[in-house]
A and B are shown apart, each in its own frame.
Chain A
Amino acid sequence: MTERHDTDVLFKALADPCRRKLLDLLNAHDGQTLNELCEHQNMTRQGVTQHLHLLEAANLIATVRRGREKLHFLNPVPLQEIYERWIAKFEKPRLKALGDLKRRLEKSNG
C-alpha cells in the first residue's frame, strides 16, 4: 500500500456520518461488541458490520477477540497523523479563535 492510498482510504472512511457516529460511540465507551454498537444505530446489523470493516481497513478501529466476542477499539493514531499533516502546521491560535466564534454563534442560534 502506498502512503497516498492510506490517506485516501482514511478520508473516505471519515466522509460518512454513520461511520463518524460509530467512532463517537467508541470514544464514549471503548471496546464494544457488534451487538452493543448496533443498539445505537438506525441501521441493520449488516450495515453496521460493513461500516466497521471500512473503519478497520482505514485503521481507525482495532479489534480484539475475547472468547467468542470481538471487541472494537477506537484507534486514534491515524487521526493524530491527520492532525500533524493537515492542522498543526497551520496557525493554531487563529484557527482556535475562529472555532470559538463559530461555536458561540451557533450556540446562541439554538
Chain B
Amino acid sequence: MGKSTFVYVTYIRTTPEKLWSALTDDVEFMKQYWFGTRCESQWIPGSSWKMVSPDGSVTDSGEIVEAEPPRRMVIRWQNQMKPELKAEGASLCTMELEAAGTAVKLSITHTIDREPSKLIAAVSGGWPKVLSNLKSLLESGSVALQAPYPAAKA
C-alpha cells in the first residue's frame, strides 16, 4: 500500500515550552494564528482530540497517540466535514520540537497509508499559512494573514 506524506519545517525564535503551549492548551493564542479555529483535548496519550471551527462545527477529530511535552506529539487525525476525506480514514500528524540555537525547529509530518490522498492534499495547503502565522505571532506579536484567503483589494 502506498503512503502519502508531507513534512513541513519552520524555525521560530521562541522556547520549546512557549511553542508547546501555543500548539496545545493556549486556546486563545491558537485562534489568533489558526484563523479562529481551536483544538480541544487534554493533550495526554489516549485523550480525544478535536478541531473546532469558528462557527462551532467539528472539522477534524481523533485522539492523542503520543504526548511528550515540550518535544513530541502524535495525533490520530480524521476529517469529519467532507465525506470523501472522512472516507480515507485516519491520518497521523506528528509534531516535533527541537531547540536549535536561539530558535526552535518545529517539524510537522502528516502521513496516511494511501496514495494519492485527498486529505493530505487538503491539509498540506493549510499548514504553511498556519505555520507562517504562528511564527509571526510568536516572534513579533502579530499575525501575517488575518484570513486564510485574504480578500483581494479592489
* Chain A residues engaging chain B, CB cutoff 8 angstroms: 1, 6, 30-31, 59, 62, 64, 73, 75-81, 84-85, 88, 91-93
Q: Given that A31-B5, A84-B145, A92-B153 are contacting pairs, would A77 and B10 also be in contact in the complex, using a CB cutoff of 8 Å? A: yes
B141 at the interface (CB under 8 A from A): no
Q: Is the CB of B6 within 8 A of A73?
A: yes
Q: Which of B10-48 contact A (CB under 8 A)?
A: 10-11
Given known contacts A59-B11, A84-B132, A1 and B103 CB-to-CB distance under 8 angstroms = yes
Is the CB–CB distance between B145 and A77 below 8 Å? no
Whether A73 touches B7, Cβ cut-off 8 Å, given contacts A1-B101, A84-B145, A88-B150, is: yes
* A81 engages B132 (CB within 8 Å): yes
A31-B7 Cα distance, complex, nearest whole Å = 9
Closest 9 pairs (CB-CB, A-B): A80-B128, A73-B7, A62-B7, A84-B144, A62-B9, A80-B132, A77-B10, A76-B128, A77-B128
Those of B132-154 within 8 Å (CB) of chain A: 132, 135, 144-145, 150, 152-154
Chain B 98-113, CB within 8 Å of chain A: the 1/0 string? 0001110001010000
